[in-house]
Structures are given as C-alpha cells and as structure tokens.
Structure 1
Amino acid sequence: METDVESAASRQDSGLPCLSVRLLGPLAITRNGVPTALPASRKLRALLAYLVLAPHPVGRGRLCELLWDVPNDPRGELRWCLSKLRGALDTPDRRRVRTQDDTVALDLGACLVDALEISHAATHRAGTLDAQQLRALAKLFAGDFLDGLELERNPHFNSWLIGQRRRFRSIHAAVLEQLVASLPTDCGEGIAHLDRWVELAPFDGRAHTALLASLARRGEIAAAEKHLVVAAQLFQSEDLDFAPLQSAWRAIRDQQSAASPRTLPACRSTASQSGFPLDPPNPGPPAPDPVEPSHASLAVMPFVEEAGPRGGLADGLTHDIITRLAKLRDFFVIARGSVFALADKGIAPEEAGRRLKVDYVATGTVRSMAGRLIVSVELVEVRTARIVWAETFERRPDDIFAVLDDIGDSIVSSISAEIETVERNRALLKAPNSLNAWEAYHRGLWHMYRFTQAENETARHFFASALRLDPTFARAYAGLSFTHWQNAFQRWGDRDRESALAFESAGQSLLVDDHNPAAHWAMGRALWLRGEQDGALGELEQAVKLSPNFALGHYALSFVHSQSGDPRAAIGSSDHSRHLSPFDPLLFGMLGARAMAHVRLGQFEEAAGWALKAAARPNAHAIILAIAAHCLALAGRLEEARGFAAAIRKTLPDYRADDFIATFRFEPDAEALFRQGARRIGLG
C-alpha cells in the first residue's frame, strides 16, 4: 500500500499543484517544486513550525507567550507574522492560515509536510511498513528539526524545540532500525543505514550489535574490533555497562569462527593491541542469548517545570507517579534515583530509555499560568519511538495538593491501561506457541474481556500457559481466578466447583506475591462467591490500600457494597473506579453496580439511567441486561424493560427472577424490590 508520503510525492512529480513544507533540516516551503521565499524572521519560522505540529487551534495569548519576550506589542508582531504566512501559504482559492475568535490554526490538507508524515507513520503504522515505505520515510530526514533555528530569551519555545528534535531523532533511529532489519546488511544501502543508525543512537546496543554482525559477515573482523574498542571507550565515558555488547560480540565472533576458523587470529591480534580486554583469558562457553524480559518495563523521567528550578512541583509529581505505578505491580518500574541521575546528565528521555533497557518512557511538563496548573504527559514506546498516549490536564490550583493528587491518579491509571492495551495487541500478533509468560498473560486478558463462555475458556488456557512458563506470575493466577469466577457467576459451569477453583487460584496468587493488589482483588471476589462478605470486603480494601490507583479494586468494592453493604459507599467506589479507568473493559460492571445501589436507596429513576448506560456498553452480557430490565421496571418504564427481557430470553429462554436473584447476594429488602420489578415485566 502506498504511504501518504509516496502519494504526496507522486502528486508533486506528476505536476499537480502541491504545497510542500520541510521542517526536517532548514525550514523550507515549495509550491510545485519552486521555493517560496520567507522574510528573514526566526520567529516567523518558529511560529510556522509550532502551528504545523499543533493538534488543535492555538490561542493568540499562548503564541505571544511562547515566542515573544515581553516586547512592546506582541500581538502586533504576531499579526505581522500571520500576514507573511498568508502570503507564503494561501492561494486565491484556499485560505490555509485560519483565525477564529482568538485562535490560530493551519489548514494543511493536500500538503506534503515531512514532520507530519513521519509523526503519522510512527504513531499509526509502526512496525507495518515495508522496505520501500521505510526508504520514503528515511529520505524525509534531511537534518535536525528546524536545523539552525534558535531563539534567544524564549525558554518556552526552546524547551518545545528541544523536545521535538529529540522526538524526531528517536523516530529516525527507529525507522533506520526497521529498514536495516528489512534489507541485506551486507549491501551498500544496508551498511549506510547501519552507520547512520549508530551515529544517531550511539548508546543503543542493538545498533552496535547489528553493525558488528554485518562487519563479521563480510569478514571485516579487524574493523569490527576497532569499532568495538571505540564503543567501549564511549560507554565507559558515560559510566554505562559495556558487558552486554561485549558478550554479543563474543557470540558473533564464535559463530563466525565456527564457519571460518581463519578469522580468529585476526580477531585476537586486534584485541591484544587495544587498551580494553575484549575477551578474558578463559572465556568459557559462549554467553547465552539474552533472556526475554517477563514483564514490560517503564521509566518515568523527571517532569520539567517550565517556570522554576528543579525540586519543585514537577519533581514531587514525578516521585508520586513512580511510587504509585510501582505499587500496581503491573510492570517493572525504574527507581527514582536512576532516572533522576540520567536527567541530571542531560540525557534525553528516549536515550535514557535505551540506556535503561526499558520498553516505555513517560515524560511530562508542569506549567503554572493565570491561575491554572497545566500538566502535559507523553508515553513513548522506546523501540519504535511511537507516542502511545498523550494528554494535557488543566486544573485551577485552589488546593494544589488535592489537584496534584487528582492529576497523579489520572496519569497513573492511564499509563497502566495504555501499556496493557499495547501489550495485549502485540501478543495477539504472535503465534500462540511462541508466546512467553508475559505475552500469554496479555493474550489471556484479551480473550477474558470478550465475556463469552468460549472466550473465557480460551483465556483460561492462556493464563495456564503463562503459569507453566512462569509459576511465580501472581497476576496470571489472578487472571485464572477471574475465569473460574466468571464460570461460577455466569453459570457456565458448576458454581460450587468453579468457586472452589477461583478461591484456589486466588490463594496461589497471594502465596506468590501478597503485596500485589490483583492477588487480594482475586481473593476478595472469590470470598464473595463463597458468601463471606466481611472477608471479601477486607481483601478488597487491602487491594486498594496497597495501590490506591487500582481501579478494579474500587469497582469490586462497589459491586459487593451495592448488594448487601453500604449503597452510598458503592456509589462512591463506582465513581472513583470510573475516574481512574474511564475506558475500562469492565465499565459496564462499574455502571451496573451503581444502578443496583440506587435501587437499594429507592432512587429508581437514577437506577434506570445508570443501568441503561451499563447495557449500552459493547461487551455487556446478559446479567447486565437483566440489571437494566429490573431497574427500568422499578422506574415504571415498562416498555423499555420488556424490550430488555425479550433480548435476554433470545439466548436464555427460561430466564426468571430466581436466576437473577441467585446470581447476586442481595439483602432481603433489595431482593424484594427486584422481585417486584420482575413481576411487572413477566420475569417473576
């Protein structure tokens, strides 16, 4: 399939009108291949670049703050710049510089903009491009982002500019890595891409390993060892661990030696001339292949406070986010000391991610202005330099600590959910027999959230596979417990037997890691199945105590309280779980629990409203539809209630109120209410 880059280029080559904006390298605008002159204003170029990459219209006040250091008339200078941009970009039949109210935006339809093409490919098509498409992208990297452009006394813009340059360098390295993998590295083109990759990512062991392997295949052992000596000096200068690269070279060399013994003397003679011991006197057997990590890993780099020194709100927020993510125990989180040490050295986040050998890096900025606190966050996949999640949180800092706590909640929950989604989707693309424990677990999650009997059984199979590969995987035990819980709750199997298996698997999860909130969550749900409400609430409260950001723990508390506990507590826990995870696969349950709590409070119209929201979720199962039918009946909305009853009976022809009541553990007053609703619509 043709990339957007190729189609735009073909339009230009065919002579059709095409506007092109180059931001990689010195900024340039061409129309039909003819350069368009711009005034010699750095701020004009800065304004153009910022508007090109802005995802939404930008306020004039923001642009003045960004680009002008309190001049006499910032808005007048902005108007002058916009008039010059109109002259360069607009045509009689199309206005590309658009102003509405107090905002400015660019219409870049039918334009070729190198930075936008690259950003789109990195965000939406990472890992799916063929060699031809990757070549087209690589050609767009004509230099650094806005090469040669610097603004004095503009810290906000310069911070943005440094971040963009860092991002595009990382994307360039990722494109070269994929291109190298798709080409024979012994050909001239492959070698050129390898050299450029190493130049862009001098501390990426994968780049050095690929180059060493290419040199070894061509028989250039001496050249490979010279490169290794230089790499050793480079890594040593930054206090980085050189051992993995040394081990990789040893394995490459031994493999090459086995194929051609003559290469060994040259290798050793070069090593003896260097100042670095590339091989110990008794190396022993070749180093084993690196073990694939069993969990995803994350580094949260120190957030940047745009208008203040280090050690303020931004550092405190970073520390809080790292602590909360670690408490989730979903993935491996790099400790605060390591990320702050790299940041103090001025290491860029994506480069820090490669040095720390993590899968994801989170970065952010904190800005205070005009009575508002603005926190912007990005989550980047290190291997592809793809932004997998980005968000801006804006609050009035009436109570700064409460505001930071609320923003921290949202950031932690979003990062956890996005990483889980990426890992699930990646596991789906792999052959089942090639999955490691971590991937098998996430494949199980994907099937588990389909909420059908067949998918639940498939999920159980993948969780069991994960545990065969890693018997210490607490979350996989919790997932296995969930599948048995579903079998009992949905009556897909013998309830007593499945309840016992859910309890057994939850117990195994606790034995493996009693500090894992998911283990206590699984045990709380299993105890609820057994009718032990007090024990269930105790375990669920421990889950959210261990990790206040554990959305499923708050939902499970709402679920238990909605039937026989405190209905007001159920409403609060439901709201909090949805605040933490607004797109959760179990959102229908969070909404349904709130609906049942309103029934117990006699608030039938409110119950009907929440039940309808629950039933509208795409993965809502028959029990959620039954909650909607009963709540609507109690609210007197009988026609709608009968519609849900009919929908249930299409798959469960004999479904009655007794089935609904037996599913839950209602107190007598709540049971009487739901039976009253059932009689009104023929389910009694």
Structure 2
Amino acid sequence: MGAGVVSGVESNLTSSHQGLSVRLFGPLAIVRNGVPVVLPASRKLRAMLAYLALAPHPVGRGKLCELLWDVPNDPRGELRWCLSKLRAVLDEPGRRRIETADDTIALDLDGVSVDVLDVASAAAAGIEALEPARLQALSRLFVGDFLEGLEIDRSPLFNNWLTAQRRRFGSCHAAILEYLVKTLPADSDDTSAHLEKWLELTPFDSRVHIALLTRLARRGQFGACENHLASAAQLFQSEELDFSPVRHAWLAIRAERHCATLPAQPVTAAAANQAPITLAETEASTPHKASLAVMPFAEDANSGIRGGLADGFTHDIITRLAKLRDFFVIARGSVFAMAEKNSAPEEAGRRLNVDYVATGTVRSTTGRLIVTVELVEVRTARIVWAETFERKPDDIFSVLDDIGNSIVASISSEIETVERNRAMLKAPNSLNAWEAYHRGLWHMYRFTRGENDLARRFFGMAVSQDPTFTRAYAGLSFTHWQSAFQRWGDRDQDSALAYEAAGHSLLVDDHNPAAHWAMGRALWLRGEGDASLLELQRAVDLSPNFALGHYALSFVHSQSGDPQAAIGSSDHSRHLSPFDPMLFGMLGARAMAHVRLGQFDEAADWALKAAARPNAHVIILSIAAHCLALAGRLDEAKNFAAAIRKTLPGYCADDFIDTFRFDPDATVLFKLGAKRIGLN
C-alpha cells in the first residue's frame, strides 16, 4: 500500500485541517496540513501505528514483537526500522511524536486529528447525549472498515486484535446511525440513507426493521412494508432467531396508521387472526427490565475448543447473575449458540435484543491467572466497565470463585448505576416501572428526609405500574426503614410499613435476595434479632454475590451478635461492591464491631473512613464521635459532636443508643464515650 493508495483516499480526508491527521477508517492514511504523506510499503509499520494509536498505555517492545512478527531472525531490529520510518513521518521540528522509555513505546497524539479516537471518545462519553450535527460528523468518518485490507499473514495475534477493533467500531457506527434515525426528521433524505446503512450493518437487529416499517408506513407504502416483513422474517428464520417482536410491532404500526382494514397480505395465519393492537399496548407489554447476555469467555490455550476452563467460568457467572434477579439474564444455551456462529459480542447483543453484553478472556501464564472482562451497553456501543484480574493460581477454583464474585457484583452495580442515571434524565410522568424504580434508587441514596420521601413516591409508582416488581417493594420497605431509623416520623408506624412492604416483596418472589434483605431489616426494626439474621442469611444463601445482604448481616452482628462475624461480613460486602452508595454503613458497622471487641483505635480509624463518605448522614457522624472518644481522640470527637448538634441541637447519648439494638456491654461502652465529649 503505497503512495497510490494514499492518493486514492485523499478525498475522504479533511484537506482543510491544519496540522497532522491520521485516518484509520478505510486504508490507513496520514495527511499533514492537507497534503497526503507518502508512507513506506510495510504493512507491519501501518499495523504498529494503528495499534499504538489505540493503546491506552505505553506498549512494551516485546509485546509489539510478539504481536507482529512470527519468530523472525531479528524482531527487535525490524521494530527499530519501523520506528525510524514512523519518526520520519510523524515527528515535527522540536516535537517527537514517538516516545520511548523503559523498553516501552507510546505515541504522542496531542493536537493530532485521529478519526477512530474521535469515535472512541464519543462512545465513551455516551453517543445518546450528542447533538445530531455531531452524530452526522462522526458518521461521515466511517469511509470504510477499520484498517481496510491490512490483514497480516502469520500474525494471528494482530489479526485477532484487528477483528475485535472492526467489530467494536462497527457497533459504534450502528449506534450512531440508530440515534441519527431517532433524532433527524423522519422525512429527510439523510434519515433514509442512515436507515439503509444501519440495516446493512445490523440485519438481525429487530429495532432497525421496526424503524424501517414505521418510516414506510408513514409514507403510506404498506405494500413495501409487507414485502420487507416477509423477507426479514425469512432472514431471521434462517438464523433461528425470534422474529415475533418485529411482527407484533408491525401490527401496532398498522393499527396506528388506521390501516387495519386495508387488503394487505397476511404475514402468517396466526398473525392474521390476531386482533389489532396499538403501539402503546405493544410497548406496555414489552419487558422494560434491563437485559444482559454473558458471552462465552475466550480461553487462549483452548484454540476455540469449547468445554474448557473459560466455558465453565462463563456458566458460573451466568448462574450467579441470574440468582441476583436484578435483571433478565440470557440463558447459557442461547449465548453459546451465538458463539458457535462466530457472532461478535456486540452483534450477538443486537441479535438477542439485550441492553448489555459482558465478555472476557481467561488466560494462564507461568504462575499467573489473568481474567479480563468488559461490560458493553449494546445500543450505544459504550464500554460501561472493564477490569483485569490477575492472581496466582495456587488453588485455581478458589481463585476463579473470588474473581467471579467480583465480576458479578461489579456488573450488577454498573448496570444499576447506568439505569439510575438514565432514569434521572426522563420526565417523571414518562417513566415505566423499571425506570421509576431506578429513579427511586437515585433519590434513596441521597439519605436526606426530602430525598427519602421522593424515593418512596417513585417506588410507589413502580409497584402501582407493576404489582409483581419485587425489588420496588424492597425499595419501598427501605424508605420506611430509613424513616424509622433516622426518626423522621413515627417510628412504630414506619416500622410497620417497612414490614408490610417487605412482606409484599416476599409474596411476589420468595427467591429474590432483595426481598429477604428487606424483611431482615424490617425484623431488626421490630427487635426480632434472631429472625432478622435468619432472613439476611437466606438472602446471601440465595445469592452469595448480594453485597447489601452481607452488609446487613454485618450491621446486625455489629450491635448484638458476633462482632468477628460483623467484621468478616463488612469486609466481604466491600470486596463485592467497593464503590457502593452504602459504603459508609459497611465501614460504620465494622467500627461498632471493633468497639465491642475493645479495639478502640481500630474502631476510630474505621469510623473516620465512614464519616468521610460524601453521603454519610448524622448517625454515621455519631458513630465516629463515640468511637473517637473511646480511643481518647477527644478533640476530633468533640468536633463531630459539635457538627451533630448543629443539625440536631438536643442530640445526646440516649438518642444514639435508642437508634441501635446494642447488647448491654456495648451500651455501657458507648455511654462512656458520650460522657467524655459531653453528649451524655
């Protein structure tokens, strides 16, 4: 690929751009101040430039040699030659674009226009938040495949990376086109072009077919709709995919366009016998619960053979996530069937019509086990969460169990965060049950009286729309629990309401850990400590990855149960969910457990960590004041006491003691601490 190829793509570049431009969509090309730069013919030089451009960190020379050279005589010598040629192309007077340090290589791309980086940064920030003009500008960057025509013989690692990047940016392109179709005027020529390209990229995405049918129906082209429906149904059938969402949507579209009585050809006998339905009815019957597909993890040593360590690990993660019952998890058989068809994770996500896809690798090296995982939001092609876990495989099953715990808890937490933030962007009167629930969570985690009341309103909205929504009842129970705990109202009445809502949650789904969590906390409010522990233990038995269940066990044990068990449960809850909105409680429970063990210095340290959390409420500050006082750190303790009395002027030791269910010995200790700082 020489000067001729560069000239061939010149028209696709921004010739007016002053400075350096690198274009990786289509054949690789570089332009400086609008003039194409002639590159050496080496394919490996181009491959190295692209790999370094996308690398988030400096790359070791050894890794580049392994990536691009199939055991040549002198890989480092060839690498040095490539670097020297790249310097001649990229470096500027007084500025070296290629940085080398400690046997690593990195590109300085500050001020350089790189098309794929523009797309990647937009995807990371959230495509759905971009203006149509920005989306159109991004769409114009896709002039061809990523590094078009640049496969390298006998470089399987690079070719695998190249395939993954093409799939990644293909998903980004599809997401951009989808949002353009949604935001641009329906009758514009641009919308037609974007819709056609979206259909070309994702022919098995039911949403693009629905969008096309909607557009054709608005133009009165019902014959074209029927023709498209028939051909699309055949396409889906060839891949053994469910076409019913598209068919049902078409019935609703046709009804809305007042054409139910038109002489249209029936799609199927079953469809012809169905009564006309409205689009609103279709949307109401569509599950709004978030959905997730965990694609089979790849195992480097397995060479694509199924049934190894990675497959077992994938199955375990699917099972654990399903036990959380937070969202709909695609069954193992479906995702493995997709993998057998060599579907990319993002493509599989669109085919399965899910909101999120998790994928990863399991790799064994000498003395290390490395697991990487990514969580992708399918519709925006945005990487929501990514992590690499590296452990010594002393006990392989124990290590995988620990890593699996972290992955499951993190996926659940990240999806909840995304759904919570999305729900906050919608008008309250437009929320469905799932969105109202997550809007309630957002307010609940603010831990103020006013926000707690708002949370209760949204949880109530969720259960009124969906009386079978277990977690919404659990959230409703928590708002009443919080009101009783913080003494924002009538404690007895709030306790009764917390118990009632928890009971509804259990009646709806006795296998949901959140229902038992809500009931365990409600029983604690009622002074039924043993029954509370049984319910909370049931929650973590149902789902060992349920972080809030482990925290609640720590909370109860820290006051009158086993303080050592409280410390263990606190640590485990934080291991599962290190950035949890309830982190202050996890830390505070551990602090109270240390007090009961007579370990006052440790108690003070943990209590300070709890009080430092941004959403820590006045009871957490009170824990800190008492623990610091018992540790002899009186000045710090008095500062907390003063801060508490600014909010609650009459606050004293009895208020603190009455908030909890301490055993007699713990009560004596905390009263001693209060006396030292004038809170008695």
1:390 pairs, out of 375, 386, 392, with 386
> What is the CA-CA distance between 1:239 and the residue it aligns to?
1.5
Moved more, 166-175 or 395-404: 395-404
Please tell me whether the aligned partners of residues 624 and 637 of structure 2 are also in contact (alpha carbons under 8 angstroms): yes
Question: What letter is aligned with 1:127?
Answer: E
Rounded Cα–Cα distance in structure 2 between residues aligned with 1:437 and 1:246? 25
Rounded Cα–Cα distance in structure 2 between residues aligned with 1:71 and 1:278? 64
Please tell me whether the aligned partners of residues 216 and 222 of structure 2 are also in contact (alpha carbons under 8 angstroms): yes
Superposed counterparts of 1:417-456, under 5 Å: 417-456=413-452
Report the number of matched residues. 664
| 2:491 is the counterpart of 1:485 | no
Equivalent position SS for 2:282:
coil
Q: Which residue of 2 aligns with 1:162?
A: 163
2:530 pairs, out of 517, 526, 534, with 534
Superposed counterparts of 1:4-23, under 5 Å: 16=18, 18-23=19-24
Please tell me whether the aligned partners of residues 484 and 490 of structure 2 are also in contact (alpha carbons under 8 angstroms): yes
Please tell me whether the aligned partners of residues 12 and 32 of structure 1 are also in contact (alpha carbons under 8 angstroms): no
- Output the aligned Cα RMSD: 2.1
Q: Which residue of 2 aligns with 1:376?
A: 372
Rounded Cα–Cα distance in structure 2 between residues aligned with 1:623 and 1:101? 51
> What is the CA-CA distance between 1:244 and the residue it aligns to?
3.0
Q: Which residue of 2 aligns with 1:3?
A: none
1:305 pairs, out of 285, 299, 302, with 299
Moved more, 215-224 or 600-609: 215-224
Q: Which residue of 2 aligns with 1:329?
A: 325
Q: Which residue of 2 aligns with 1:553?
A: 549
Instruction: Indicate how the Cα distance of structure 1 residues 248 and 57 shifts in structure 2: closer, same or farther if over 3 A, else same.
Output: same
Question: What letter is aligned with 1:372?
Answer: R
Q: Which residue of 1 aligns with 2:276?
A: 285
Rounded Cα–Cα distance in structure 2 between residues aligned with 1:565 and 1:64? 58
Rounded Cα–Cα distance in structure 1 between residues aligned with 2:212 and 2:105? 46
Identity of aligned residues (%): 74
Rounded Cα–Cα distance in structure 2 between residues aligned with 1:374 and 1:202? 35
Q: Which residue of 1 aligns with 2:562?
A: 566
Rounded Cα–Cα distance in structure 2 between residues aligned with 1:148 and 1:499? 67
Cα deviations by residue, 1:356-379 (Å, 9 ceiling, x for unpaired): 121111111122223222211111
Superposed counterparts of 1:534-613, under 5 Å: 534-613=530-609
Where do 5+ consecutive residues of structure 2 fail to align? Answer: 1-10
Instruction: Indicate how the Cα distance of structure 1 residues 431 and 515 shifts in structure 2: closer, same or farther if over 3 A, else same.
Output: same
Q: Which residue of 1 aligns with 2:112?
A: 111
> What is the CA-CA distance between 1:676 and the residue it aligns to?
1.3
| 2:339 is the counterpart of 1:343 | yes
Cα deviations by residue, 1:499-541 (Å, 9 ceiling, x for unpaired): 1211111111111111111111111111111121111111111
Please tell me whether the aligned partners of residues 624 and 640 of structure 2 are also in contact (alpha carbons under 8 angstroms): yes
Cα deviations by residue, 1:590-632 (Å, 9 ceiling, x for unpaired): 1111111111111111111111110000000011111111111
Question: What letter is aligned with 2:499?
Answer: F
> What is the CA-CA distance between 1:286 and the residue it aligns to?
4.3
Q: Normalised by the size of structure 2, how large is the TM-score? A: 0.94
Please tell me whether the aligned partners of residues 420 and 442 of structure 1 are also in contact (alpha carbons under 8 angstroms): yes
Where do 5+ consecutive residues of structure 1 fail to align? Answer: 1-8
> What is the CA-CA distance between 1:683 and the residue it aligns to?
1.0
| 2:620 is the counterpart of 1:627 | no
Question: What letter is aligned with 1:662?
Answer: D
Moved more, 588-597 or 248-257: 248-257
Rounded Cα–Cα distance in structure 2 between residues aligned with 1:164 and 1:211? 28
Cα deviations by residue, 1:318-367 (Å, 9 ceiling, x for unpaired): 11110000000101101101110111111221221122121111111122
Equivalent position SS for 2:364:
strand
Rounded Cα–Cα distance in structure 1 between residues aligned with 2:289 and 2:626? 43
Please tell me whether the aligned partners of residues 359 and 383 of structure 1 are also in contact (alpha carbons under 8 angstroms): yes
Please tell me whether the aligned partners of residues 251 and 276 of structure 2 are also in contact (alpha carbons under 8 angstroms): no
> What is the CA-CA distance between 1:577 and the residue it aligns to?
0.5
Equivalent position SS for 1:145:
coil
Rounded Cα–Cα distance in structure 2 between residues aligned with 1:480 and 1:654? 30
Moved more, 634-643 or 81-90: 81-90
Please tell me whether the aligned partners of residues 126 and 380 of structure 2 are also in contact (alpha carbons under 8 angstroms): no
Superposed counterparts of 1:106-255, under 5 Å: 106-255=107-256
Rounded Cα–Cα distance in structure 1 between residues aligned with 2:368 and 2:144? 37
Equivalent position SS for 1:148:
coil
Rounded Cα–Cα distance in structure 1 between residues aligned with 2:461 and 2:217? 39
| 2:33 is the counterpart of 1:42 | no
Question: What letter is aligned with 1:418?
Answer: E
Instruction: Indicate how the Cα distance of structure 1 residues 213 and 524 shifts in structure 2: closer, same or farther if over 3 A, else same.
Output: closer
Please tell me whether the aligned partners of residues 246 and 278 of structure 1 are also in contact (alpha carbons under 8 angstroms): no
Please tell me whether the aligned partners of residues 255 and 276 of structure 2 are also in contact (alpha carbons under 8 angstroms): no
Rounded Cα–Cα distance in structure 2 between residues aligned with 1:137 and 1:518? 42
Rounded Cα–Cα distance in structure 2 between residues aligned with 1:631 and 1:147? 64
Cα deviations by residue, 1:109-129 (Å, 9 ceiling, x for unpaired): 111111111111112032122
Equivalent position SS for 1:375:
strand
> What is the CA-CA distance between 1:681 and the residue it aligns to?
1.0
Question: What letter is aligned with 2:409?
Answer: S
Cα deviations by residue, 1:36-79 (Å, 9 ceiling, x for unpaired): 22222222222221211111222223222222223333333322
